[in-house]
Structure formats: C-alpha cells, structure tokens
Chains A and B, each alone.
Chain A
Amino acid sequence: MSHHLFILSPSDTPIYNLTYSSTKPAPTTNSPLSSNLPTWSTSAFAGTLTALSGASSTTQHTTGGGVRIGGGQDRHVIQMIANASLDAIEDVMRKEGAMYLKSVDKFNEWTVSAFITPGNTKFVLLHEAKNDEGIKSFFYEVWELYVKTMLNPFHSNQQVIRSSTFDTRVRASAKKYL
C-alpha cells in the first residue's frame, strides 16, 4: 500500500514529492465503484529499463493479478500518472469549486485524489485503497504545513520545498492518516 504525494505550484511545477508506504492493511471491502473495474496487473510497467531491443513475445500470456509493485515501481510512470491526472483535475476544478477533489481520476490501480489550495497550488495523491476521510484530513494537514512553509519570506511559489521539517511533518501526518 504505497502512496505518492506531489505538490505542484500554480504553474504545475512539482515542488515536493513524497513516497509513503502505509503499514495499514488494505480494507477488505472495496467500494462498489472500484469493484466495477477490472483488476489490473502492473506487470506491464515493470522492467522497461531492462527490456531492451528485440523483446521476446514469449512472455505475452501472463496471467492476471501479477505481483504488485509498491513504491519502487518505475518512477516515471508514477510521475506520468500524476502529470496526466492534472488534465482531469483541471476539468473538475473548472466545474466545481471544491478544494478537496476525491478520486478525481483513476489510472490502473491508482486512484488520484487532489486538493486545490486557494492559491491554486495542487496537492496530488496517488493511492490504491479508498480512504476518503483519512485523505481529506491528510490534505488539510499538508495544507497547513505548506502555508507555514510559504510564510517564509525567502520561499517563493516556484521553489522546491527542501525543508526537512516540512518533510518530517508531512511524513508524520501521512503515518497518522494514510
């Protein structure tokens, strides 16, 4: 059960990311919405670096439900998902005024939830299980931490957040809610 948090500035520049592996067990009852969807294996993403030229077609018929790869999954795919979900987030933003956009998008096993601050900074969270309340609380805490960071007069909107305090606190909050 891993989570990926991205904070994006108003110009969609990533200024912080966090990979967090939750120790909490996945809930046994899935939401009806997610059970509507097929279960997907992630084997498609694995090993793009190693599979080089002349990929053989012998591994074509793998059975479904391959091993789930957690936080170590190809980073670019995770980042691509976060980036791609911005399209959906912007659509929803235009339609609704809410700050917390829950399950705004889905890519394979990843559900994307988002939080838009009044300053148009986006928090994008990729998660696998449904945990609306937890994620909402998590977002609110991250928001507070983010605002505290932004109060620093030497910190600008576009700057990568490197504060270790911020990181520690976000992790603590992730541990609490996710």
Chain B
Amino acid sequence: MAPPLPSSLSPHICILSSPDLKELLTASSLPQLPEILQSFSPLPQVNTRTTSLTSIPHKAFSLRFSDLIEIEASCLEDEEQRAVRTVDWIGSRIGARCAQWVEDIEKMAGKQSVRLPWWDELKRCVEGDHVPSKAETWNHPAAIILAVSTNTPNPLQAISNLHSRAIELPSWVDPVYLRYTLIVHPKESALSDEESSALFNAVKKQYGLHSYLLPLDMPNPPPAPVPVPTPKPRLPLAGSDSMEASLVTNTLRMNEKDIQQTAKFTREFLVMSLIPWMEKCVLDWNESFVSTRRLPSRLFSSTRRLFGTPSPSPTPPPNHRSTPSRASTYTAPATTTAAAAAATQAAPGGLPQQRRLAEFATILGDFKLAVTVWEALSKEGKGGSDILPLLLSPSPAIPLHVSNALNAMFTQSTAPMAQMQLRALLCAIRWEIGIDPSDFASEMLGGERWLVWAAGSAEEPPSALLLAHAAFISSKKQAFRRAGFWYLLAANRLEKCGIKPLTMYFLRKAHDLYRNRPKKELSPSFWDAEGKQFSDSHEFDAIIPGIQHPLGRLLYTTGNVKEAVEIFLSLLKGSASSISTSAIGNGGYETETDEVYLEDFRVAFEHLKTNLTNLEQLKDITIPFSFCVPRQTQLRFLNNDDGGEFSGWDKCEEAWSRFSRSHGLNSHLATESKAYVNEPFWIDLALKNPLDVDVTLTDLTVTVQESNENDPSSSKSFLDVEIVKSVSIGPRETRTIPISVKATRPTALTITHITYTFLSLLPSIESLAVRGQRLHSTAVQRQTPTYAPDIVMKVAVAEAGCRLLANFSEDKQLVLNQGEVISTKLWLSNTGVEPIAEVWLVVGSDNLWLNKDEAVPSDLPTSETIHSSNSLKPQEPFSISLGSSSLMPGQSLEVPVTLHALDLGPREIRYLLLYRENKDAPFKQVRKVRSCQVLPLFRIAIFATPSSKIEEMFLVDLELQNNCTSAVQITRISTISPRWTCNSLVDGTSGPVFPSQSSRFVLGVNPWVNPSGCEETLDYVVRQLEDVVRGRAIGSSEPPPLDLCCSHVFQTQQSDDFEIQSFIHSGKRHTATESLVSIYPHIPPHTHHHIFPLFNPAALDILVFWEIPSENRKGNQLVSALHLGATHSPLQEIIEGAENAKSTRSMYAQTRREKEEVLQAIRNSEWNMEMNPLYVFVRTASGFNHDFTKGPCCVRVNFTVRNFSTTMKSRFILKLNGDASDSSSSSTIQPVVYCGRLTFRGTLEQTMHTTFSVTAWVGRPGTYALGAWQIETEVLEGVPKEQVRHRYLQQASLDDNPFINVCHVDS
C-alpha cells in the first residue's frame, strides 16, 4: 500500500475572516480560523470519484488552510527573495535546535535511530510552504472561505462586504477556485438561533449552496486545552518579527461539542462542496484535455514545438465557458473576469488548466488520469516528471523521470539560484515522503541518489541535510563507504553555514563509517599467505585527515580544545606513518598539510595549556610518532677510534687470537667498551624527523638509571647528564645529537629513555629499547612471531684501573709516495692508576713494524745471502718493550714505528694495542686508525730474455719511469732470488730521474752457485698441492727454509740505512698474498701459508731503492714478476691423478664446479709451467768478402745449445739443412747450405751448454739465412733409469736467426 500523498499535495484553502470573527476568536482564547480548521486535517474516510465514476476511498484526506490576507501579502514578495529567506529561515531553525538533537541522538548511542530530527524539521519546513508559486499550482487556492460571525451588528452586510472584496492575488495565480461562505454563530451572539438560521437561508439564497452555519459554544472561561497536531511551521512574512515561537499552538481550548461541530463543518465542506467541485472541474478539464490530445491539435502543438512559436496555446482556455453548474457562485463578479483572462495568459507554462487538471486528479486519487496528464505535460517539457515518481509503481523508468525533473529545474539558466534550489528540495522531500521507504531505498530506484542530485551544489543547510539523509539511507542499505562520503560532503557544506554541532556529528559519522570497513570475502589464508595482518594494511592516506582535520578545528572553535589537540596530534601521525601511495603520484601535498596540522596543534595546545589549571590532564596527550631511532643510537667513549670498517678490526683480532694460541698466551680480550669514572662518554642519539616540516625539540636529554635501581632519580647525585637546550630538525632529516654523561663513581648504568619538549610545549618521553631478536628455537616461536626481551643500552662505568692512552706524535694526514718508508712515533701513556705490565701491537697489514735497534752495516758487499723462513705467514704482533718491567701510572713511552707505503690510494692504517696489568688479566684494547694517501711514483717495466752470450744465461731489462713531480734519485738496486745471481751489465753511476723521464738498467743473470732449499721447496709445494687437489686436509706444516741470494747490482756512493730483509719480506708477502687470493679464490686464505711458500725458487725479485732529495723522502719498491728458467710441469702427475681418480659424487653442483676451478687454477699456475728447455744460438761474423772466381766460400758458423732447465737434463739431436721446402717460402733470402757433419747429438745437464762448429757452403755472393736447422729435444727424468718426460721439435724460424752477407771481392 503506497503511503498517502505528501500533505503539500493537498487542496489549499484560503480563509478570509471578517474582523468581528477575529475579535470573537481572540476573545475566546482561540487561534484564528485557519489554525482551528487545520487542526482537523487530515480527514478520515473520504471517498472520491474518478472520471469514470469509480469510487476511490481515501483513508486520510489532507487540507491546508491559510489566511487569505497573509497569502496575498506573501504573493507580493519577489519569489527569489522569498526563496532566499526560506533557505535562511530553515538554516536558522535547524541551527538553533541541532545542538539539542545531536545530544539526544548521542544519548541513544549504539541504536540506529529511525527518525532524524533535522530531517523531520526540514520536511516540515518545506511541506509547510503554502504560498502560490509561478512554477506549479499546488499552492494556488482551491477554495476561498469567507467567514463571518453573527456577533457583528449586520452579518449580511459583512458577508456581502467580504464577497465584494477584490481578491488581491497576483494575476498569475489561477483564479479558478470555490467560494464558500461560513457563518460562525457563537452561543453568546446577539442573534438568536432562529435569526441565524434565517440569515443562513438568506445567504444561501444570495451566494449559493456553498455556505455553512457553524454554531459554537465558546464557553467563557475557555475549557481545558485539547491537544491537536502541531501545525507545520511557516515562513514568517517579510518584515514581520519572527514570532513563531509564540504562535505555535498545539492545543485548542474548545469543548467537546464545539470540536464536533467544527469537525462536522470541515467534513461537510470537504465532502459536500470541495470534492464535488473538484470532480466537476476534473471532468470538464479532462474533456478539453482529451480534445487537445486529438490528432489535429497534437499536430498543431507539435508544429508549435517544432517551430518554436512563443504564442500561448491556440486552443483557448475553456474554463470560462465550462463553468461547473453546481459551482455557479464560484465565478467571480464581472470585475474579476478581466483579471482572470489576464491570468490565463500569464499562467505558468501556458497550460495552467492541464496542470490543475493533473493536480486535481492527483488529489482526488484518480491516478490513471493524473498519470496520463502528467506524462503529456512532461513530454512537452511543462513539468510533471517531479510528480510521476509518486504515482507510478516502482520501475527502472522512474529514476529517468527524476533526473528529467531535476535536469529541467537546474538547466533553466534564467531561474534564480535559491528558487531552483528550493524547488529541487521540495521535489526531493515529496519523493521521500510519497514513496514507500523500502521502494525508495531499493536498488531499482536508488532514491538516495535523487536526494544527492537534488542537493546540487548549493552550500546551504537544506542541501547538506539532503546529502546527510542520502547518507543515512545508504548506511541503512549497508553501503557504508558511500554513506561516509555523503556524510563528509554534507559536513563540508554545513560547516560553511556555521551549524557546528551537526557538522561535527556528520564528520564523526563519516569517520565511523569509513573506519567500519566492510568484511571482505577473502580466503581465510589470504592474510597468512601475505604474511600480514589485516590491521597492517593501509588505507587511503588523505581521507582520515580530510575528515578529522575539520572536526578538530570545529572542536577547537567550540571550546573542546583537549579533544582537538588529540585529533591534531593523531593527524600528524597520519601523514608521518602513511605508506603513501602518492609517493609517485602527487607529492608536495603533504608538506603543507603537515605544516597546517602542526600549526593547528601548536595553537590549540598553547591555548589548552594556558587555560588549564590542572596540568595532570595533559598527561595522556602523547606524540603518536617518535623521533629517536634506537637502532642507530650508540655509545661513544673517549679515546677509541672506532672508525674504519669492522672487518679490518676483525682481521686484527683474528691475527691476535692465532698468535696468542700459538704462543700459549691468555688471549681473552676485554672487548666490552667501558666508561671510566670522571670521564665523559657520549650517547649519540639518532633523531629522525618523520614530518615534512621543521620541528624544534627543546631540553633534549636522556634518562639514565643504575641497572640495579628502578628509580631514575637515584642516579642524579653522581651523574652529570647534558641537556641540549634546543634542537631543530628539518623536514624528514636525520640528525645525530651527542649527549654527554659523566659519572663520579663506578656503577652500571642503563640508558632507558630520551626526554624532550616537543615544540617547547609538550614534554615527551621515548624509549631507547630495541626489540630483541626473533626467536626460532621452539615450534611455537616459529609459528607465532616471538621476540627476545628488548635490548637497552647499558654502560659499565669502571674505576680507571690501568689505562693506556695511545696517540701519534704527529696527527696530520700522511701523503706518501708508493714505496716510501717513514718512521713515526707512537706515544703511549698510562693514564690509569695501575702499572701496565704488557703491551702488544697488532697491525692489520704487512707494511708496519717496530724499529729494531740493530745497527745496519754502512758498507754493503756486492752480494749477500739471506736466510729466509720462506713462509707466507703474516706478521706476528709486536711486543712493545716497556723499558723497565712495567709502565707506571702517569708514565709515557714513545714507540718508533716504521711504515712502508705499499698500496696506492687512500688507506687506513690500523693499530690495535693490547695491554694488561698482569699475566692473568684479560687484555684491554686501544684502537687507533691513521689514514694516509699513497701516490704512485714509478712506472716499472721489466722483462727477461735468454742471453746470446755465453757468459750470462739471461738478460733482464729494467725500466723505471718517474711518474711524480720531483726528480728521483735511484740509490740502489738489489736483486733477490733463491736460485739466480745478477750483475749489472752497465757501468757508471746514475743521475736523478726527472719527472716523466725513464732510466734503464740491464742486468745479467746466472745461476747461483750455492742455492739451498730450492728442491725441498718444490717438493713441498707438490706435496701440499696434491693434498689440495685430492681434497685432503692441509696440515699445519711450514715450507722449508730457503737461502736467498741478494745481489746489489747498483749502488750510489751514499749508503742508506735500510734494513733490507724486512722490506724484502714485507713487500714480497704483500704481493704474494694478494696474487694468491685472486688466483685461488676457492682455497681459504688462512691456509695459504701452509700450501705456498713465500718465494718460488725460480723467482727473481728486484728491490729498487730511491730517494727524493728535494722532499727528503726515501723508500724502496719491490718488483716481483719474474720467474726464470724452464720447468717441466712438475704438477702433471698429481693433476692427472686427481682427474683420473674415481670421482665421488657431490650433492652440490657448486662444489663440483669449485673443485674444477681449483684444479684449473693449479694447472695454470706458476708452479706447473712447462716449456722447451733448450735454446739454440747461431753465431757467426756478419759479413764476408770472398773472391768467387776462386771457388765457393766456406763460412764457419757456431751453434750453441743451452739447457735452461734448472731441474732436468735433456737429450737433443740437432739436424742441419732441413727440409728444402721450407726454404722455398722465402724468395729473397735463401738459407745457407751447410756441409760436413750435419747431425749432432748430445745430452745437456741442467743450465749447461754446448757449442758445435759447422761449415756453411756459399756458392755465390748474397744474403743467406743461417737458420736451416731443426732440433729435437727429449727431456729426461728419473735418476736410475732415464725416461723421456717431454719431447719437443723446434725449427729455426727465418726471422729469428741471423743472416750472413757474402760479397764478391776481386782479389
């Protein structure tokens, strides 16, 4: 059952009361007649008839009564102005009462209220409008009741006065209405009942049947008030004071009889007069409507539509002729006819009659007819779409009608704004009332959207309330997100009208609805699979601030400062922690918002602070984000250079622990850093500003308490904690702020919190604890994340027992040349209170050692023998001798240290000093780092060739190019080799090498006569590598010792005081370690010194000593690249053995691949080189003169064959005059032809050589190549039974061999 029509769609009846009636009513404490009659509307059980004479029962039939004079006055006012006033009036009414409503609604927290008071109020205000409008005719009077009382001296005259009074309605008000005469006959009237009946009959005779005599008791004093429905509020007249409050009556002081009499009159008026009159009107108008719908007129009307003739309807309005006979009295006296005709012309839309027909049919319930007419109207664009949704049953077409109706309203660009808005509002409210709520909210109609459409863009309370009601309906439909959005829009609009309580209520609603995210139908394991919690998922980042910020501001302006402060604070958190999806999209937005929020917070909080007497209340205001980053906060102690990479120190500590193990020392290190009494230490606080705006923190400090105490104040007496007055942190900046702490007695301290005052306003505290590690030990811990207890910073403040302070005597940064040697001094001092018994220096690299006091002989022999352990083992820590037995407190010591700059580039030199007070104490440590910059000095080129001279086996060419900017003097060149000895082939002294100049040296190399340890070393390497390739454990054996031959091949006069052995070893160890790591990446570096010796027996290293006199620098550089002499893949057997070994399956392909790579590296290593050991030199004089007339020339040619192998002997066959085909390849130079013995055989021991003399036969003059030979080599091995290890065949290449020139000379 459809709900009844909205009451605004009911007949409007104007009442014109005579002055005496008004007096009468006032005298008997009754309201005026319209109010009295209105109390009886709606009337129950009324029947109407349709045009087809079907009876339609109405359960309730509404009537609207108003005072004609009021209506006349209202019609004079400009409609737009009136609309504006209406909107303001509604706004003020709602604004005045909303605080109470919101309070009431919030009282019933939890329960969703069925009715919203502001919506009801809006409905009543809009429905109550009764002033005729140009746009529609609902409010045009359907009847005018002329009322008099019998109290007047001459009632008949009064009636005729009323009848003759011109109705001063504007011309556009439809003049078709029913005139009705009412005579009120009070009991205390001057007229008797008979007289009044006579009067009534006279009136009936004169003015028709539409008259009524209403006898009333009106007792005096008035009876007890009877409650009646509250009349709808009406817009007060312009200019009149708002007296509504006093005028609102919802009681009537009438007795029962009067009430019945009045009810009877009202009913009679409706049933006997108004309805029949309206039915008659409908019938008549319908006829004319049907006639216009016939073809010709439709043709006409469509042509008119097409050609846009602005003239009114061609069919003359038939109202004058078809006057309903029963209502003969309605026709105005002749004076009004002209006005009526004029009204027709100017009537709204030009079709007042059709519109009225539709309205009357609607009122009477003849929906079938009404729909037809409305549809016809709407097709012609004359309105009607707004009523159709009320009459039709729900269908998808209805939203179209709605949008048409609103569209028509809003697109009338000429229509003033407020009027348009009011009409949209009226339509929306009629729909909301007139359509069944379940249909209205249904999916098909989507009525809440209509309200939104109708709200338009106006920023007025009515449209805001429309939006709010749309939100309300949406939220009932479970569309919470949409509801939230509409509430927000409503709040945005309402905010501008200053209706704060309701705005706040809407904002809170929007917030709640947004927070109430609908449950998603996701798999239960969705969040598990993502490894996240539902609560972790973030949301739209701008929405909550967009809702909360206006709310906070409203709270602040309404005096609820504390809540406002809390909201502003939470907003700051919002933008700080949001995982902003806009990181990519629109940046720059948050900057200003953070600033705004922070400023708002500051203002609000300042206000709160000044106005609050009880500061306890501020306690629960906390900053929702933190500045401190506990993980990056650390402790710093005096005299501890912790700079540099951790790995460097690890290396030092590792070296120390190896050394101490091997020497049986108590290696326990007191690693814990400690602070000492009366000495400051620092807490480096890492502060990160999460906001996009500058933030100032004041009174920044840390809370320190004793570990065994719970009260932080206990430590105050002996602790001195710094307080930083003010710290300013830029947007998203991270700063490190050191806070110094000094204790005056030994204790254990825990640093728990930092405290500061945010913006100099809000004291805050943050914990410095860091969450412990995730635990994985039990199944439960693995299933639910469990963490170890929080870690807090702890400091032990100790009495300064023995303390070593280390410093460099000079602390500037070093700039060195490569190979430079400098002596520095380390200054050690005992600042503690106990003597230090033992100090060790551990260095992280090979280029630093303590100076020894040994005297260096000033005069060097040309060659010397150095005994070497031949071990790659890194340097051992140095024990620093402390002069007397120990270093007493307050004593200091200088330790000279030699530094040899080996690597290029910026370097850090690490000193780890370990010390203790006695043998059993754990070692304490001091770490020092010194940085230096090493620049290149020489570019060195070195290469060796077999010598063609008998005297030397090899020639070594050494070229040094000066790459620095000063002249360098080469002071000495020494060669170091276990097997070779050198001599300079150049005599004389060398001058300085100027920048970019080079200096060249040629050295002759011969085997050393008494090598020692070479064979053992080779055997050792083979043995160890066999272990490696077979995957056996490497023993901790060391390579056998080796003697090195050190030949000083070049020396200037002035001698230097370098201790050569250290440099050889440190330089060689440095290069060897580096190359081993790069060649054998898969062999662990700590086993290298058990596998490889320091020196390969075949190696020849050259140590170049230099000095730069102008800069007083000196140094030396080791050139280590040469391996001389032939070897014969000594590792061949073990590699083959490893390859042929039954391969064990490995689980991992990676392991297999690594093994192959190791094998490959070993195969290609310097230890496994293989080459032809024999080399043939051909020597002869370069030119001959011969008289060929005397016959051919015989030339002597010497062939020398040398065995370069240091380990094996070789057998060879040298054949001369090899293949003729070879010689033909060269056209110009012919090979010489040898004669005599052409094949030589021999066996050569290691490094031996042999020479053959051969004759070459030259038939005619020319140039001949001597290289017509080939040599077959067999390398022999095995002492008792010789067998061939390698075989080589070598042919002379024409290019390498010398030529011989034979000229013809006449003798």
Interface residues of A (CB under 8 A from B): 9-19, 35-45, 48-49, 51-57, 59-64, 66, 71, 74-88, 90-91, 107-108, 156-158, 160, 162, 164, 167
Contacts and interface: CB of A to CB of B under 8 A. Distances in A.
Interface in B388-412: 400, 403-404, 406-407, 409-411
B417 A61 contact: yes
A55 B410 contact: no
Interface in B528-567: 530-532, 534, 536-543, 545-547, 549-550, 553-554, 556-557
A66 B550 contact: no
Contact of B407 (A9, A38, A57): A38
A164 B584 CA distance: 8
A71 B460 CA distance: 26
B1041 interface: no
B520 interface: yes
A82 to B, nearest CB: 7
Contacts of A66: 457
Contacts of A77: 488-489, 546
A94 to B, nearest CB: 10
A1 to B, nearest CB: 16
Contact of A83 (B91, B497, B522, B540): B540
Contact of A76 (B91, B406, B545): B545
A80 B485 contact: yes
Contact of A10 (B418, B486, B526): B526
Contacts of A12: 517, 520
Given A48-B546, A87-B480, 16 more contacts: A17-B585, A35-B407, A36-B404, A41-B457, A45-B492, A53-B554, A56-B496, A59-B459, A62-B459, A64-B410, A75-B582, A77-B488, A78-B542, A81-B485, A84-B485, A158-B530
Given A36-B403, A44-B492, A79-B542, A52 B557 contact: yes
27 contacts: A10-B520, A13-B537, A14-B539, A14-B540, A16-B581, A37-B403, A38-B411, A38-B456, A42-B457, A48-B550, A49-B549, A49-B593, A49-B596, A53-B557, A59-B496, A62-B417, A66-B457, A74-B542, A76-B546, A80-B488, A80-B540, A83-B485, A85-B482, A87-B481, A156-B530, A158-B536, A160-B581
Given A17-B581, A64-B417, A74-B546, A11 B457 contact: no
Contact of A53 (B87, B453, B482, B553): B553
Contacts of B162: none
Contacts, number: 182
A84 B581 contact: no
A71 B520 contact: no
A130 to B, nearest CB: 16
A61 B492 CA distance: 16
Contacts of A55: 495-498
Contacts of A9: 537
A4 to B, nearest CB: 9
B1307 interface: no
A18 B526 CA distance: 26
Given A57-B497, A76-B542, A86 B460 contact: no
A10 B539 CA distance: 13
Interface residues of B, number: 75
Nearest to A42: B457
Given A38-B453, A61-B417, A61-B418, A80 B546 contact: yes
B1161 interface: no
Given A19-B586, A51-B495, A158-B530, A60 B543 contact: no
Contact of B531 (A76, A79, A156): A156
B520 A60 contact: no
Nearest to A80: B485
B1125 interface: no
Given A75-B542, A76-B545, A80-B546, A158 B553 contact: no
B583 A162 contact: yes
Contact of B456 (A40, A45, A162, A164): A40
A11 B518 CA distance: 10
Contacts of B456: 38, 40, 64
Nearest to B540: A79
A117 to B, nearest CB: 15
B210 interface: no
Nearest to A15: B581
List the 5 shortest-distance A-B pairs measured between CB atoms, nearest first: A76-B546, A53-B557, A84-B485, A38-B410, A55-B496
Contact of A18 (B479, B531, B540, B585): B585
A108 to B, nearest CB: 8
Nearest to B579: A160
B493 interface: yes
Interface of B: 84, 87-88, 91, 400, 403-404, 406-407, 409-411, 417-418, 443, 453, 456-460, 474, 479-482, 484-486, 488-489, 492-493, 495-498, 500, 514, 517-518, 520, 522, 526, 530-532, 534, 536-543, 545-547, 549-550, 553-554, 556-557, 579, 581-586, 589, 593, 596
Interface-central residue, B547, B556, B585, by most chain A CB under 10 Å: B585
Contacts of A19: 585-586
Contacts of B495: 48, 51, 55
B87 A60 contact: yes
Contacts of A15: 581
Contact of A64 (B457, B517, B531, B536): B457
Contact of A43 (B459, B514, B541, B596): B459
Contacts of A45: 489, 492
A61 B546 contact: no
A76 B479 CA distance: 19
A32 to B, nearest CB: 11
Contacts of B496: 51, 55-57, 59-60
Contacts of A35: 407
Contacts of A88: 479, 482
Given A12-B520, A14-B540, A156-B531, A54 B459 contact: no
A167 B530 contact: no
Nearest to A88: B482
Nearest to A50: B596
A80 B584 contact: no
A71 B324 CA distance: 64
B967 to A, nearest CB: 55
B484 A84 contact: yes
A17 B488 contact: no
A11 B522 contact: yes
A43 B457 contact: yes
B497 A162 contact: no
Given A75-B546, A80-B488, A84-B485, A17 B530 contact: no
A60 B456 CA distance: 13
Nearest to A78: B542
Contacts of A82: 540
A38 B454 CA distance: 9
Contacts of B418: 61
A53 to B, nearest CB: 3
B543 A54 contact: no
Contacts of B539: 13-14
A57 B498 contact: yes
B531 A75 contact: no
B583 A36 contact: no
Interface-central residue, A60, A82, A83, by most chain B CB under 10 Å: A60
Contacts of B542: 74-76, 78-79
Contacts of B582: 17, 75
B485 A107 contact: yes
A26 B809 CA distance: 79
A80 B406 CA distance: 25
A63 B596 contact: no
B476 to A, nearest CB: 13
Contacts of B488: 76-77, 80
A129 to B, nearest CB: 19
B112 to A, nearest CB: 18
A74 B596 CA distance: 15
B485 A57 contact: no
A25 to B, nearest CB: 23
